[in-house]
């Protein structure tokens, strides 16, 4: 007489609550979209006021093309280095990824330094005209966005150093890149409106 052995019963999965895997990416994307929306609202105000508040810019106001061009080139270079960091992280090239993110952080800090220098040397006060108020506000929003992007890049660098964002697990590094690129696009819109479309 053959006896059948009962099949072993599998344990139930743990009831622990798990954090959603892509929470960081969603938060960073929402931050990037928020930055773009803030800059878009300011650019709409700039466009609207430039038609009604003449002369635009006010008489005697000169804005240096050099500063705007250097600020833009600095962010464009950082756009390439942040993508290099992601490319390296995907291929498990930890040293290259860390180097790329450190260069991105350095370029972001250089942008903030030049933005501060440019804003301090404008030669007119914040409340001197609608032009001045909008210009200073756009510079402040851009500076805050880049400072936050530097913080996100520092977090991504720490995750790469800790082997948490290498190979197939590059979601946080990708999110940092998305946020950085959103900030770059926002600045290019500011650059075009303030320096190019005079």
Per CATH, domain 24-56+65-196 is 1.20.1250.20? no
Residue scoring higher pLDDT (7 or 177):
177
Q: How far is the C-alpha of 184 from the C-alpha of 36, rounded, in Å?
A: 10
Section 22-35 average pLDDT: 82
Q: With beta carbons less than 8 A apart as the criterion, state whether 89 and 98 touch.
A: no
Model confidence at 69, in pLDDT bands (50, 70, 90)? very high
- The total of other beta-carbon atoms located within 10 Å of residue 75's CB is 25
Q: How far is the C-alpha of 130 from the C-alpha of 46, rounded, in Å?
A: 9
What is the reported pLDDT for 163?
82
User: What tens digit of pLDDT does each residue of 113-151 get?
Assistant: 999 999 998 888 888 888 889 999 999 999 999 999 999
Model confidence at 166, in pLDDT bands (50, 70, 90)? confident
Section 85-102 average pLDDT: 92
Residue scoring higher pLDDT (28 or 91):
91
Domain residues of the chain, as ranges? 24-56+65-196
> Taking all residues of the chain, what is their mean pLDDT, rounded to a whole number?
86
What would the two tokens of residue 65 be?
Answer: 């093309």
Section 188-196 average pLDDT: 91
The model's pTM: 0.83
Asked if residue 14 has pLDDT above 80, the reply is no
- The total of other beta-carbon atoms located within 10 Å of residue 101's CB is 31
């Amino acid at each position: 007489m053959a006896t059948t052995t009962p099949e072993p019963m599998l344990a139930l999965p743990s009831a622990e609550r798990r954090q959603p895997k892509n929470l960081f990416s969603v938060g960073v994307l929402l931050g990037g979209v928020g930055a773009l929306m803030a800059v878009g609202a300011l650019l709409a105000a700039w466009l609207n006021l430039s038609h009604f508040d003449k002369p635009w810019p006010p008489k005697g106001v000169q804005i240096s093309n050099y500063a705007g061009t250097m600020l833009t080139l600095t962010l464009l270079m950082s756009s390439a280095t942040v993508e290099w960091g992601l490319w390296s992280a995907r291929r498990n090239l930890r040293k290259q990824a860390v180097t790329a993110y450190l260069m991105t952080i350095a370029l972001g800090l250089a942008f903030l330094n030049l933005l501060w220098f440019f804003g301090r040397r404008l030669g007119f006060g914040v409340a001197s005209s609608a032009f001045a108020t909008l210009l200073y506000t756009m510079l402040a929003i851009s500076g805050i966005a880049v400072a936050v992007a530097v913080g996100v890049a520092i977090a991504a660098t720490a995750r790469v150093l800790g082997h948490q964002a290498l190979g197939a697990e590059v979601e946080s590094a990708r999110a940092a890149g998305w946020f950085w690129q959103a900030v770059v696009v926002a600045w290019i819109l500011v650059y075009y409106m303030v320096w190019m479309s005079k």
